[in-house]
Chains A and B, each alone.
Chain A
Amino acid sequence: DSGVTQTPKHLITATGQRVTLRCSPRSGDLSVYWYQQSLDQGLQFLIQYYNGEERAKGNILERFSAQQFPDLHSELNLSSLELGDSALYFCASSRDRFYEQYFGPGTRLTVT
Chain B
Amino acid sequence: DQQVKQNSPSLSVQEGRISILNCDYTNSMFDYFLWYKKYPAEGPTFLISISSIKDKNEDGRFTVFLNKSAKHLSLHIVPSQPGDSAVYFCAGADTGANSKLTFGKGITLSVRP
CB proximity to A under 8 Å, residues B82-113: 89, 91, 93, 95, 98-106
Q: Are A103 and B44 in contact (CB under 8 A)?
A: yes
Report if A98 contacts B (CB, 8 A): yes
For A35-66 the 0/1 string (1 means CB < 8 A from B) is 10000111111001010000110100000000
- Assess A45 versus B100: contact at CB under 8 Å? Given A40-B105, A99-B93, A99-B95: yes
Q: Are B45 and A2 in contact (CB under 8 A)?
A: yes
What's the interface size class on A, roughly? 20 to 34
List A contacts of B95 (CB < 8 A): 98-99
B interface residues, tally (CB under 8 Å): 25
Q: Give complex CA distance A99, B34 in Å.
A: 8
- Assess A99 versus B32: contact at CB under 8 Å? Given A42-B106, A56-B99: yes
Separation in Å of the B8 CB from the closest CB of chain A?
14
List A contacts of B46 (CB < 8 A): 100-102
Query: Which residue of chain B has its CB nearest to the CB of A45?
Result: B100
17 A-B pairs besides A2-B43, A90-B43, A92-B43 with CB distance below 8 A are A31-B99, A33-B99, A33-B101, A42-B6, A42-B104, A43-B89, A45-B102, A45-B103, A55-B98, A56-B99, A98-B95, A98-B99, A98-B101, A102-B46, A103-B45, A105-B41, A105-B42
22 CB < 8 A contacts A-B = A4-B43, A33-B101, A40-B105, A41-B105, A42-B4, A42-B105, A43-B44, A43-B101, A44-B103, A50-B99, A58-B100, A92-B43, A98-B95, A99-B32, A99-B93, A100-B34, A100-B49, A101-B46, A101-B101, A103-B44, A104-B43, A105-B41
